[in-house]
Copies of this chain bind each other. A is one copy, B any other.
Amino acid sequence: MQTVNPYEVKGDIDYNKLIADFGLKPLTKETLERLDNLAKGSNYMIRRGIYFAERDLNWLFDQYEQGNRFYVYTGIAPSGGMTIAQTMQFQMAKWLQDRFGAEVLIMIPDEEKFLVKRNPAFTLDNGHKLAMEDALDVAALGFDSRKTQIFLDTEYAKTMYKQAVRVSKYITSSIIKDAFGFGNDMNIGALFYTSFQAVPAFLKSVQAEKNIPCLIPMGVDQDVHFRVARNAISKLGYYKPASLVSKFMPGLSMNPKMSASDPNDTIYLSDDEATVVKKVNKAITGQQATMELQKKHGGNPDNCAVCQYYKYMFEPDDKKLNAIFEGERNGSLLAGEHKKDLAMRINKFLKEHREAKKKLEKKLDEFMLHD
Contact = CB atoms under 8 A, between A and B. Distances in A.
Interface in A169-222: 169-174, 176-177, 182, 184-192, 194-195
A192 B165 CA distance: 10
Contact of A174 (B161, B185, B194): B185
A199 to B, nearest CB: 12
Q: Count the copies.
A: 2
A250 B191 CA distance: 37
B158 A157 contact: yes
Contacts of A156: 158
Contact of A189 (B124, B160, B195): B195
A10 to B, nearest CB: 23
A259 B157 CA distance: 33
A148 to B, nearest CB: 22
Given A124-B166, A154-B165, A169-B189, 10 more contacts: A115-B168, A124-B162, A157-B162, A161-B161, A172-B184, A172-B185, A173-B173, A173-B188, A188-B188, A191-B192
A165 B195 contact: no
Nearest to A164: B189
Interface centre among A157, A161, A162, A165, by most chain B C-beta atoms within 10 angstroms, is A165
Nearest to A171: B188
A185 B174 CA distance: 7
A247 B166 CA distance: 33
B161 A188 contact: no
Contact of A187 (B114, B162, B171, B185): B171
A172 B158 contact: no
Given A157-B157, A173-B173, A188 B162 contact: no
A79 to B, nearest CB: 17
Given A154-B162, A176-B188, A195-B189, A169 B371 contact: no
A174 B168 contact: no
Nearest to A127: B165
Contacts of A124: 162, 165-166
Nearest to A177: B173
A155 interface: yes
A171 B192 CA distance: 12
B162 A191 contact: no
A134 interface: no
B188 A194 contact: yes
A168 B161 CA distance: 15
Contacts of A168: 115, 187-190, 192
Interface string A122-150: 00100000000000000000000000000
A111 interface: yes
5 contacts: A124-B165, A155-B158, A157-B162, A171-B187, A172-B185
Contact of A154 (B115, B161, B170): B161
- Max chain B CB contacts within 10 Å: which of A164, A171, A185, A187? A187
